[in-house]
Amino acid sequence: MSKKKIIIILTVLFILAVLVLQIPRVESALSWRYEKFIIYLRNIVNPPGPVPTALPVTPLPSIAQTVEVTETLAIATPTLETLPVNPAATSAPLPEKILLPSPPYEEQTPNNCGPATLSMALHLYGWEGDQSEIAAQIKPVLQDRNVNPEEMAYYVRNFAGWLNIGYRVAGDLDMLKKLIAANYPVIVESVTSLDPNDAFGPSDDLWAAHYLLLTGYDDTTQTFIVQDSYHGADLTISYEQLEDEWQPFNNLYMVLYYPRDENELEILLGSDWNPDANRQHALANSRSEIKADPNNVYAWFNLGSNLVYFEEYEEAALAYDKARELELLPLRMFRYQFGPFWAYFHADRIDELLLLADYARGITNMSEETWFWYGWALYRQNEFKDAKAAWEKALSINDSPYADAHTALEYVQ
């Protein structure tokens, strides 16, 4: 073959390769694999360590002392005892088995379990889009690995306005079954174990957050029916496994509903319909779990998150300190949960905020929430130029009109 023909063939192949890369699905798959490869190589050279424990600024209280402190905490919000509870919330015994219609299954694209799960849920209410439409609004950058419940709620309220969405914490199996029996599929945030092929390095614990859509339950087998965008359609998960994997996310659950059904949902949730009462419920749960097992790392973490809700930041920071002291938190915890950043910032423990935000950036560089809080840590240390760059980085990941980084940049103008 002549040199001229070889050049022509190579040129044609190059042009074909460029054209193929213009196909969004191909470009997405290749860029995702390239990014995983680079991250894996980086973590071979410089493997991430465990979640850092709190800096030795002040002595950490013992478990008993911290429990005592949090038990005596007075919070000026309604309590479960003083809020009215609708008597209709205690309904007749639930059916032994319920199976709701399954939506068209949607396998998630990389980092897209939130949009994919929400898409499947929306299809049960007549929506006709797909996960790409949701992702375009709430996580436009492929490498953004987390979608918060607030972002999913934002999408529903602004782009599926015939529906409403509510989410609460402190859920339990009875609440899930009650909602499903009333014809409400439920989204929960829980833990999944990643495929080893998705590891970011040799020391990866493969722990990750994951949304599941629950569309049925069966008391005889003690299982829920789930639509799992990562693992498959119409799978089962045992009650026991779901309880274990749900706790790291404060037993969060989300429900879509028509506005006309709000009164029915209020009855189903009872006192948990009130957000403050719901958080008081969660606060009581986390304290009880700590009493039962003082080494329950997620109970301590949830205690911190529930205290953040009530703006009790110093006590929340102590609870997060204890969770970190146990040295059991997974590597990706701060990819999904940002309560510690709130607590350390408002408790004026800026060195702690900087330490944790820096660690979180090392695990997940493409996280607008982490860059946002990293920026505030820098700002409080008078590094204004670097703080501004951090907030601009946050906006490059998710430049949505509701992003907190916009407000931060306006603040320093």
Separation between Cα atoms, residue 316 and residue 139, nearest integer Å: 29
Checking if the pLDDT of 265 tops 70, the result is: yes
Q: For residue 111, is it left (φ>0), alpha (ψ between -120 and 50) or beta?
A: left
- 28-42, 88-102, 292-306: lowest mean pLDDT where? 28-42
Helix axes 384-397, 404-412, angle to 10 degrees: 150
| C-alpha closest to that of 189 among 169, 166, 217, 160 | 169
CATH fold group of domain 87-273? Cathepsin B; Chain A (3.90.70)
| pLDDT tens for each residue of 202-218 | 888 999 999 999 999 99
CA 61/CA 52 separation, integer angstroms: 17
In the numeric block, which tokens belong to residue 371?
A: 């860059």
Helix, strand, coil: what percent of the chain each, to 5? Answer: 55, 10, 35
Contact status, residue 113 vs residue 316, Cβ threshold 8 Å: no
Average pLDDT, the chain: 86
Rounded mean pLDDT, 102-112: 95
Tokens coding 377: 């840590």
Q: Choose among 379, 378, 381, 408: nearest CA to 392.
A: 408
What average pLDDT does this structure show over 333-355?
97
Residue 73 has what pLDDT? 44
Eight-class DSSP state of 272: G
Q: Which amino acid is at 381?
A: Q
Axis-axis angle for helices 339-346, 368-380 (nearest 10): 10
**Confidence grade of residue 88 (pLDDT, cut at 50, 70, 90):** very low
* Helix (H) and strand (E) counts in the chain: 18, 7
Count the Cβ atoms, other than its own, within 10 Å of residue 149: 19
User: Is 112's pLDDT higher than 90?
Assistant: yes
Does the pLDDT of residue 7 top 90, yes or no? Answer: no
**pLDDT tens column, 143-194:** 888 999 999 999 999 999 899 999 999 999 999 999 999 999 999 999 998 8
For residue 192, the surrounding DSSP H or E stretch is: strand 186-193
Q: How far apart are CA 266 and CA 184, in angstroms?
A: 13
pLDDT category, 3, cuts 50, 70, 90?
Answer: low
pTM for the full model?
A: 0.86
**pLDDT (tens digit, 9 = 90+) per residue, 119-146?**
999 999 999 999 999 999 999 998 888 9
Least confident of 160-174, 292-306, 366-380, 397-411: 397-411
Q: What does the pLDDT look like over 280-322, one tens digit per residue?
A: 999 999 999 999 999 999 999 999 999 999 999 999 999 999 9
Strand partners, 236: 225
For residue 120, the model assigns a pLDDT of 98
Give mean pLDDT, residues 317-336. Answer: 96
pLDDT band at 1 (very low <50, low <70, confident <90, very high): low
Instruction: Name the residue ranges covered by the structural domains of the chain.
Output: 3-45, 87-273
